[in-house]
Amino acid sequence: MDNMKLPKEKVGDFLAKLGKEKFRVPQQMEGSSKFAPLNGESNADFTLSNTTVPPKSIFYPQTETLYRYNVGETAMEAPGEVDEMIIMGIRPCDARALSTVDKLFTWDPVDPYYKSRRDKATMVGLACQEPRTNCFCTSVGGGPASTEGLDILMTDLGDSYLFQVLTEKGEKICQEAGDILVKSDDSDVQAAEKLHNDAAQKIVRGIDSQDIPEKLPQLWESEIWKKVSDPCLGCGACTFLCPTCHCFDIQDEVEGLEGRRCRVWDSCMFKEYTLHTSGHNPRPSRRERTRNRINHKYSYFVDKFGVIACVGCGRCINLCPVNIDILNILSQVKEAL
Amino acid sequence: MADLEKLITVAKETVSRDDVKYLIGWRQGTYGFRVSPHFITEPEEADKLIFSPLCSNNLATYLTLVEKLPVPRGQEADTRKIALMVKGCDSRAVVQQLVEQGIKRESVIILGCPCQGVVDLAKVEEKFPAGLEQVAARWDDGKIVFQFSDGEKAVPREEVLADKCLRCRYPNPVLADTLLWEEVEAGSSSDEYADVSELEAKTPEERWSFWEAQFSSCVRCYSCRNVCPMCYCEDCILDRLNPTWVNRSNNISENTAFHLSRAFHLAGRCIECGECERVCPVNIPIMTLNRKLTKEVREKFAYEPGTDPASKPLQASYRPNDQENFIL
Amino acid sequence: MKENPYQPYIATIEDTWFETVGDRAVKTFKVTLDDEEARKNWSHRPGQCAMVGRLGIGESMFCISCSPTEGDFLRFSVMRAGKNTQGLHEQEVGDKITVRGPYGNSFPLEDWKGKHILTIGGGIGQAPLRPIVEYVKANLDQYAGLTMIYGARTSGDLCFKNEFEEMAKRDDIAAHLTIDIEEEGWDYNVGFVPSMLMDVGPSPDNTIAITCGPPIMIKFVLENLKKLNFADEQIFTTLENRMKCGFGKCGRCNVGNMYVCKDGPVFSYAILKNIPEASA
């Protein structure tokens, strides 16, 4: 399908045409930003760079009811089908994060909760034009205009968004909104490509990740793990807000006689995460937990699924209260290798 | 005036002592205006220490964050001291930890850093978007001077200092083994709890809608709890499963239970270092909640935690003239 | 496995008894799945695990402590330790629990045919070894022999004691029971499991050794097996870690690049010794 353009003044019409209830868009909330359903007119903010809370929360919400039951009974009721969604304005790194996490959630057996939402979602990405200081997507296989995991790539051309249609799902949306979109020509694509290249040039941080996955486990006893984890507070900011971190806990929660078994985000940086009931903890301190976090992203996940479980969004660096900086850790790793 | 040379000399001497395990100070971070806690075991590492308006971290939290790992059979527990650099507010945390017997006096060496106030990173980055360049800063007569590679930029302190520093009444450590330089003038700062009064003036519905929006955005990463020098229970009710006091689910009910439990557990204990609010990734104004209780405690019991090592914890002290009218 | 792997089967407790008493009592549950279809489709192999729990309390991972050769039921031996195990201990015959699984790999008992099987267990660590014992017992003619070493702190801490006493009487199986400290009326051995192993002194020829127990016991058992010239490939163990999903999603059970729930729980020492996190 040909590329199309959405004039900025028609964004409202576009949302209305496709059905506002379907959209999940980046929004500025009280003190942070996240993807949320549209409400009222249009509270989408396509100028935000990465949202504080990554869009994984749409597909893998922090709290998910697996099934409900009444205490004392044996019937279990799983939540119903999910509706179609259009995720508009997702940044390429966050879309890549979802394709990365797909590999785990569709690893046998398939996770039905995650998968059904993924199947029902059309991903309309927005190319980055102003990467932030700690963005390093280009070091881990991505880029400001990466199309991986997207159905449409949008590029802000000033007074309109160029829609580069990538999949059938994307095509379907463009057809449905055909009377709102306008045709684009080669000059638009050239302009977009220039913007994409310019954005890639603006990325200032990075790491050569070439040898890291194979060699990282060799540094198991290295002193760097103690050094980099000394200031660690053991909080979950880096993992909860990481777009590829996917670990969870399962808990039964009961109110009166109504119970549910639910899963909730969990963090490998919490001491309870690996704590055995006996009191033994195979990862007794923040040193072991930090080592596991980095190894999991840059080595174990690669062993299992062939990709680094880090998309270079920079959130863990931006949000760490004590400046634990994954690029700094990785460069120490490179030095030690 | 902060004397870096003195600081490094004292740090080197201290960390060379046989009875010192390590020293904790601050060093320049990996980019922009960031600073990171710096753990030192060797004298040469002291050269990286800094003290500047960027040194926000309250390092006292590391005294209680020490992991108590099982001592291998045949080995003795390491009882060497931890040396710690403290600002005025940080020292109140150490004092309160001592008052509560959370730490032992002989296990800590306190290096006092009289302080003229630290910045609020958000205010700074509003003015100077953070780049990769590591920027240092210093105090200069009512101004904060940022040292960029292409020159210095001075900003009036009121524009970039953290709110807690603008109303600071304890710029000098209330307890220190060594005072690293001369005390700074306490100035005329006062604290009238304007932020709390503003909230108190609202109707309960308005207040609830305010907190509802705030607590809804909480992701329960517990950075506020973990950074807090007073949140050091080994068995925190938030982690407990048997019984489960606070469910793991993220919803307004559980999130409210979390924040209110924490606030109440800090009543009469919060030393207002503001770290919880600083580290919150979703910017919940946690200090407003804590300060409401601080205000109550101050007004009702004339008690200010972390100011007197010889005092008793509020909940463990009784005075005949204590107010009782809140008891139903 | 069900289409929704998170949704458990309901099972009924057919029989239950205490193996040991005290603060950390071990209670065994013999259960059958309520759903006939599920019962028919369920198949597990020795070494596999299942998530067992109660609606309203939670679920935890346990090894299935029976062999499929024993019949159309499941057995779990549960030590009372936390919230979920306490909840399970309150259950009696006829009560309903949730079961999902089976999870993980298993002991390669088919590959081991023709070999001598040696199990070395300590305390509740005998639970995952019991299915091996039962499986080999049921197919004894296909194996070169079965030797068991099992110990606990006191005689009161031994699980499956009656079964052992039965086996000790047989002359086609070698069963060695031991307790750490001398006790009045105790007719078997006294001493730690690793030294018991040396006393028994099994030959590594055509033998597979499988050990499970407290970490400190495993450490010394491994050392002694090496002294007895067992090759790494001849030594197996089964690991446990905190688990939530059971099928490689929740993340927490990894030992290095291996998920205990999917790549384990059964590992050969030849594999484990190359995972730095496992050796710790």
* A258-276 residue pLDDT tens: 999 999 999 999 999 999 9
Half-sphere exposure of residue C61: CA atoms within 13 angstroms, side-chain side: 26
Same domain assignment for residues C198 and C136: yes
Residue A220 forms contact with C (CB below 8 Å): yes
Contact A323 B225 (CB under 8 A): no
Please report whether residue C243 resides in a domain: no
Q: What average pLDDT does the segment A123-149 reach? A: 96
Angstrom distance (rounded) from CA A163 to CA A161? 6
**Confidence check: pLDDT of A42 > 70:** no
User: Backbone phi, then psi, for C27, in 5-degree steps?
Assistant: -120, 135
Angstrom distance (rounded) from CA A150 to CA B24? 46
CA-to-CA separations, C99 to A56, C57, C146, C247, in angstroms, rounded:
30, 13, 31, 14
Contact B241 C83 (CB under 8 A): yes
- C153, burial (CB in 10 Å: exposed 0-12, middle 13-18, buried 19+): middle
Contact C276 A276 (CB under 8 A): no
Q: Mutation target for B interface from A203, A229, A230, A248: give the one with most B CBs within 10 A.
A: A230
Residue B39 forms contact with A (CB below 8 Å): yes
Please report whether residue C270 resides in a domain: no
Same domain assignment for residues C66 and C99: yes
Contact A327 B30 (CB under 8 A): yes
C87 → chain B, closest CA residue: B242
Close Cβ partners of C211 (under 8 Å, ≥ 6 residues apart):
C119, C120, C121, C125, C217, C218, C221, C222, C225, C235, C236, C237
Contact B220 A267 (CB under 8 A): no
Question: What pTM value is reported for the model?
Answer: 0.94
Contact A325 B29 (CB under 8 A): yes
B73 → chain C, closest CA residue: C216
Question: Which one of A71, A248, A254 has the shortest CB-CB distance to C244?
Answer: A248
Please report whether residue C78 resides in a domain: yes
Angstrom distance (rounded) from CA B217 to CA B220? 9
Please report whether residue C181 resides in a domain: yes
**Confidence check: pLDDT of B192 > 50:** yes
Quick one: which H or E segment has residue A200? Answer: helix A186-202
Neighbours of B195 (CB within 10 A): 17
Q: What average pLDDT does the segment B231-254 reach? A: 92
Q: What average pLDDT does the segment B118-142 reach? A: 93
CA-to-CA separations, A106 to A115, A327, A334, in angstroms, rounded:
7, 29, 32
DSSP state of A101: H
Please report whether residue C207 resides in a domain: yes
Query: Could you tell me the pLDDT band of residue A40, with boundaries at 50, 70 and 90?
Result: low
Query: Could you tell me the pLDDT band of residue B280, with boundaries at 50, 70 and 90?
Result: very high
Residue C83 forms contact with B (CB below 8 Å): yes
Q: Which structural domain range is residue C127 located in?
A: 116-238
pLDDT for B23-53, tens place per residue?
999 999 999 999 999 999 999 999 999 999 9
Same domain assignment for residues C77 and C124: no
Quick one: which H or E segment has residue C209? Answer: strand C207-212
Same domain assignment for residues C162 and C205: yes
Please report whether residue C184 resides in a domain: yes
Residue B154: beta bridge partners? B145
Residue type, B41: T
Query: Could you tell me the pLDDT band of residue C165, with boundaries at 50, 70 and 90?
Result: confident
Angstrom distance (rounded) from CA B34 to CA B136? 9
pLDDT for C217-267, tens place per residue?
999 999 999 999 999 999 999 998 999 999 999 999 999 999 999 999 999
Using CB atoms, list chains with 3+ pairs below 8 Å to chain C: A, B
Integer Rg of chain B from CA: 20
Q: What is the count of structural domains for chain C?
A: 2
Q: What average pLDDT does the segment B256-270 reach? A: 96
Q: Could you give the ipTM of this predicted complex?
A: 0.94
Q: What average pLDDT does the segment B190-206 reach? A: 91
The pLDDT, as a whole number, for residue C205 is 96
Q: In A, residues 30-69, which contact C (CB 8 Å cutoff)?
A: 66-67, 69
Please report whether residue C111 resides in a domain: no
Same domain assignment for residues C233 and C122: yes
Same domain assignment for residues C193 and C140: yes
**Confidence check: pLDDT of A2 > 80:** yes
Angstrom distance (rounded) from CA A282 to CA C278? 9
Could you tell me what percent of chain B has a pLDDT over 70? Answer: 98
- What are the DSSP E strand ranges found in B19-64? 20-28, 35-40, 49-50
Q: Give contacts of A107 with chain C, Cβ < 8 Å.
A: 248-249
The pLDDT, as a whole number, for residue C1 is 39
Mean pLDDT of chain C: 94
Q: In A, residues 146-165, which contact C (CB 8 Å cutoff)?
A: none
C86 → chain B, closest CA residue: B242
CA angle C250, A306, C241 (to 5 degrees): 30
Close Cβ partners of C193 (under 8 Å, ≥ 6 residues apart):
C120, C121, C122, C149, C150, C151, C178, C213, C217, C220, C221
Could you tell me what percent of chain A has a pLDDT over 90? Answer: 91
Mean pLDDT of chain B: 93
Please report whether residue C43 resides in a domain: yes
Q: Give contacts of C88 with chain B, Cβ < 8 Å.
A: none
C96: tokens are 């309903």
Query: Could you tell me the pLDDT band of residue C58, with boundaries at 50, 70 and 90?
Result: very high
What count of CB pairs under 8 Å joins B to C? Answer: 6
Q: Mutation target for C interface from B242, B247, B248: give the one with most C CBs within 10 A.
A: B242
Same domain assignment for residues C192 and C153: yes
CA distance B19 to chain C (A): 30
CA-to-CA separations, A298 to A237, B165, C97, in angstroms, rounded:
19, 41, 40
Residue with tokens 């100011």: B307
Contact A240 B32 (CB under 8 A): no
Query: Could you tell me the pLDDT band of residue B2, with boundaries at 50, 70 and 90?
Result: confident
A267 → chain C, closest CA residue: C252
